[in-house]
Amino acid sequence: MKLILTVRKCHFLHFYYITYVRKVNNNFTFMRGDFMSIGMRLLAWRKEQGLKTTDLRDSTGISLGALSNYENDRREISSNFLLKLQEIYNADIYYILTGVRMERGILTQNEQEMLENFKVLPEREQIKLIGIVEEKAQAYKVKSEKSSASRTG
């Protein structure tokens, strides 16, 4: 997926109007973000998490004045602060910046290892493995359905 992002700031209102074009499978989709400012989304995120300004100060080391400036759009948010939010609170910083929520898939350790090994293989081998996994998954589904049908029947 390729994302082309443009951000326009309306200076007198401190709002950011976000538009982006998303490319998925060679199809372009034009989408628009929201009219909430970055600071407003940061404030909304903090409230959703049930965090006080002092909580963020203590965990990230940011001053209360700087946080107030961020939340009121008087100062641009530093990338270091955003990275700390992501590291400490697993914050969706993409949402804070753009207003678009990213889906998160959490992989188990086994899934992560399998994916890393899969990526190393040539495409031809990857295709073969996909076929094998699909066959095994289908066989397992059929076996599970038969087993549950025999228990209920």
If you average pLDDT over every residue of the chain, what do you get? 77
Band (6; pLDDT cuts 50, 70, 90): very low
Residue 19, helix vs strand vs coil: strand
The whole-model pTM stands at: 0.49
User: Are 31 and 4 in contact, with CB atoms under 8 Å apart?
Assistant: no
Position 37 confidence tier, pLDDT thresholds 50, 70, 90? confident
C-alpha to C-alpha distance for 30 and 54, rounded to whole angstroms: 39
What tokens appear for 23 in the block? 């490319």
Q: How high is the pLDDT of residue 19?
A: 45
> Going by CATH, does the domain composed of 2-98 fall within 1.10.260.40?
yes
Give me the residue spans of the domains in the chain: 2-98, 109-152
Which is nearest to 46 in space by CA: 32, 57, 34? 57
Q: pLDDT, tens digit, for every residue of 121-135? A: 888 888 888 888 888
Residue type, 74: R
